[in-house]
Homo-oligomer: A and B are copies of this chain.
Amino acid sequence: MPNITVELLRGRTVEQRRAFAEAVAHSAVELLGARRQDVRMVFNEITPDVVANGGVLASEDESRAGVVAALADGS
């Protein structure tokens, strides 16, 4: 531990996951006093049609259209 689960919209690259996992492991060692080998992270990638905010699916949410489009483009 820490055992970290990251729920996020699909569309990040493996480079992004690699960099984030590395940065968070570093923060866990520096700030939480964890042993590096004990830091575990799992990415749980989801799609916009299975998440809702305020009762509205993200795939149909105008206020999140920019976020969803950017990830779909791989940008």
A interface list, Cβ under 8 A from B: 1-9, 12, 14, 16-28, 31-46, 49-57, 59-60, 67, 70
Most B CB contacts (10 A, CB to CB) among A1, A9, A27, A51 go to A1
Question: Which one of B7, B20, B38, B39 lies within 8 Å of A1 (CB-CB)?
Answer: B7
Kindly state the separation between the CA atoms of A27 and B35 in the bound complex, as whole angstroms. Answer: 20
Using A20-B31, A31-B19, A32-B16 as known contacts, say yes or no to A7 and B42 having CB atoms under 8 A apart: yes
Complex contact B33–A23 (CB within 8 A) = no
Complex contact B50–A17 (CB within 8 A) = yes
Complex contact A14–B56 (CB within 8 A) = no
CB<8 Å pairs between A and B, sample of 28: A3-B6, A3-B7, A3-B8, A3-B40, A5-B7, A8-B32, A12-B32, A16-B31, A16-B33, A17-B49, A17-B52, A20-B28, A20-B31, A21-B56, A22-B55, A23-B27, A24-B27, A25-B52, A27-B27, A37-B53, A38-B54, A39-B54, A39-B55, A40-B52, A42-B46, A42-B51, A43-B51, A45-B50
